Amino acid sequence: MVSDKGMKGLNLGAVARRVGLVPSALYRHFQNKDGMIDALLELIESRLVANVVAVRQETDDPLLALELLLRRHVRLIRENAGIPRIVFSEEVYGAKSQRKYRVHDLLRRYLGRVAEFFRESQQAGTVRTDLSPDELSVMFLGLVQPAAILWHVSDGGFDVTRQAEKAWGVFSEAIKNGEDKGPEAGRASPATREN
Amino acid sequence: MVSDKGMKGLNLGAVARRVGLVPSALYRHFQNKDGMIDALLELIESRLVANVVAVRQETDDPLLALELLLRRHVRLIRENAGIPRIVFSEEVYGAKSQRKYRVHDLLRRYLGRVAEFFRESQQAGTVRTDLSPDELSVMFLGLVQPAAILWHVSDGGFDVTRQAEKAWGVFSEAIKNGEDKGPEAGRASPATREN
DNA sequence: CTCTGTTGCGAATATACATTCACATGGTTT
DNA sequence: AAACCATGTGAATGTATATTCGCAACAGAG
């Protein structure tokens, strides 16, 4: 429903119709509309976490895991275009500070898991150590986010998948720990390596 | 007003109070609320364009211009936190397709100008030519966008400026046309250079 | 069978908002 | 001074939507 009509289309009447009930009946299952949105956020977080867990099982290489995670992420938001619209909607991170912090925590937890992969890569020596895992995780998010927005406003005309692949290519090359990198940027792992 | 309360806070009553009028008086200046939002979008676009024009005057080096543009962009959204909230709000790119395409055009025009800098850099030989200017412009947008969102949901606790600088560092190094880049990624400018 | 808790329904209520309209005011033109 | 135009006002209207409430159906426990 959110994919089609946005958060505006997510009113109790429409939801009730969708599940074959009458608006007031929804109050038997949720305290109020805010409760519904909270449940939605939990659902979304579980999807994101599921992706992290899945790629952990698919490979032991943390850098490869990130690439797989990126692909899954793209697929997730392509198939559920409502997810970004919910997470970044006014209803959610708008006025009410309580909900805003919920989203903040959601993002931080997800990015925390992403950062974990970077940390592992750094310890394995495959990623430069002059960038913090937290910073890297935010950059990682930046690989898809603008593409997703363009995809949405262009009504699916923009190729998110391709853009994400390209961006990952540039990004992963840039952060890899090669001693023959750039002139003065690639002085990674001087004495700070721990592994 | 949008910075504080989000698009929800942007109702005619509040706007009227802010400018010392009564709600109905606003209809002497705008056809309706949609007209107001359209005017807002125009204002925003003019700000973005102003930044592009400004950095053009500040330097002749297109790559340096992009760095300056990034800084200005960060400053713009830090000082006017409402801008991303307007551009990415439901009211704007939600249901009504007409408005959605307006935002699409706005983004495309802005990114088009960004892409122009990349094109020039490629012609000057300072940027790899195996990535299209359009792709690069989307990546450029990705340098700030997630940081801006984190900054917002964290109530200003996140350091956008720092994150953007770091991301630019990684990104600009990665796209620079150095023959001593990575193993198999940096084979830029084989015979496709025109300048 | 009766009691009780759960779920659904329809109607009523309240609220927030955009929008319209008839009228007032004040400056500018003729 | 009269006519006109732009701008502002207050009241009224309509609509969308969340929420509450009393009542009915119904299933399972005793």
CATH of the domain at B144: 1.10.357.10
pLDDT class of B90 with cuts at 50, 70, 90:
confident
Please give the Cα distance from B195 to B124 (Å, whole number): 6
Q: How many domains does chain B have?
A: 1
Residue A151 covered by a domain? yes
Residue B194 in this model has a pLDDT that exceeds 70: no
B90 touches A at CB < 8 Å: yes
Of A77, A66, A70, A90, the residue nearest A150 (C-alpha):
A77
Please say if the pLDDT value at position A181 is more than 90. no
Q: Tell me, yes or no, if B190 comes closer than 8 A to chain A by beta carbon.
A: no
CA gap A26, A33 in Å, rounded: 9
First to last CA, chain A: 49
Footprint of strand D on the protein (CB under 7 A): A 8, 10-13, 23-24, 27, 32-34; B 20-25, 28-29
- pLDDT score of B48: 98
CB of residue A138 closer than 7 A to nucleic acid strand C? no
Choice among A75-84, A135-144, A174-183, B58-67 with the minimum mean pLDDT: A174-183
Please report, rounded to whole angstroms, the spatial distance between the CA atom of protein residue B23 and the C1' atom of nucleotide D12.
14
Interface subset of B 117-146, CB within 8 angstroms of A: 131, 135, 138-139, 141-146
CA distance B118 to B49: 16
**Would you place residue A1 in the very low, low, confident or very high pLDDT band (cuts 50, 70, 90)?**
very high
Q: Tell me, yes or no, whether A183 lies in a domain.
A: no
Confidence category of residue B96, pLDDT binned at 50, 70, 90:
low
Report the percentage of chain B scoring pLDDT > 70.
Answer: 89
**pLDDT range class, residue A89, cuts 50, 70, 90:** confident
pLDDT tens string A107-121: 999 999 999 999 999
| pLDDT recorded at residue B99 | 82
Return mean pLDDT, chain A.
90
Looking at the structure, tell me whether residues A157 and A101 fall in a common domain.
yes
pLDDT band (50, 70, 90) for residue A195: very low
Do A95 and A8 reside in the same domain of the chain?
Answer: no
Q: Is residue A189 part of a domain?
A: no
Say if residue A118 is in the same domain as residue A133. yes
Query: Chain A residues with CB inside 8 Å of B175's CB?
Result: 170
The verdict on A23 and A35 lying in the same domain is no
Q: Angle at Cα A114 formed by Cα A112 and Cα A119, nearest 5°? A: 90
Q: Are residues A23 and A90 in the same domain?
A: no
pLDDT at B111: 98
pLDDT at B150: 94
The torsion region of residue B155 among left (phi > 0), alpha (psi -120 to 50) and beta comes to left
What nucleotides of chain D have any atom within 7 angstroms of a protein Cβ? 6-11, 16-22
Check if the beta carbon of residue A99 is closer than 8 Å to that of residue A93: yes
CA atom of B58 to C1′ atom of D30, Å: 86
Domain for residue A14, yes or no?
A: yes
In a domain, A18, yes or no: yes
- B35 touches B28 (CB < 8 A): no
Is B126 part of a structural domain of the chain?
Answer: yes
pLDDT surpassing 50 at residue A189: no
pLDDT score at B77: 97
Q: Enter the ipTM.
A: 0.87
Residue with tokens 């979304």: A44
Domain that holds residue A54: 31-175
Same domain? A25 vs A43: no
Same domain, A18 and A97: no
Q: What is the pLDDT of residue B70?
A: 98
Highest mean pLDDT among A181-190, B20-29, B88-97: B20-29
Nearest residue in B to A175, CA atom: B170
Structural contact between residues B167 and A134, judged by C-beta atoms closer than 8 angstroms: no
Give the chain A residue whose CA is nearest to the CA of B98.
A153
Q: How many CB pairs under 8 A join A and B?
A: 143
Distance A47 CA to D12 C1' (A): 50
Nearest amino-acid residue to D21, taking CA and C1': A24
Sign of CA dihedral A38, A41, A47, A53: negative
pLDDT at B97: 64
Query: According to the model, what pLDDT value does residue A94 have?
Result: 66
Q: CA-to-C1' distance for A10 and C6, Å?
A: 26
Residue A100 lies in a domain: yes
Structure tokens at B114: 């960004």
Chain A interface includes B98 (CB < 8 A): no
Q: Give the pLDDT band of residue B195 (cuts 50, 70, 90).
A: very low
Please answer whether residues B69 and B52 qualify as being in contact, where contact means their C-beta atoms are separated by less than 8 angstroms.
yes
% chain B with pLDDT above 90? 77
Instruction: Report chain C positions within 7 A of protein CB atoms.
Output: 6-12, 16-22
- What pLDDT is stored for residue B189 in this prediction? 43
User: Taking CB atoms and an 8 Å limit, are B174 and A173 in contact across chains?
Assistant: yes
Asked if A153 and B186 come within 8 Å (Cβ–Cβ), the reply is: no
Please state whether strand C lies within 7 Å of residue A195 at its CB atom.
no
**pLDDT above 80: residue B193:** no
B121-158: pLDDT as tens digits: 999 999 999 999 999 999 999 999 999 999 998 989 99
Looking at the predicted structure, is the pLDDT value of residue B98 above 90?
Answer: no
Averaged pLDDT, B168-172:
98
Examine the pLDDT at B180 and tell me if it is beyond 60.
no
> In this structure, is residue A186 part of a structural domain?
no
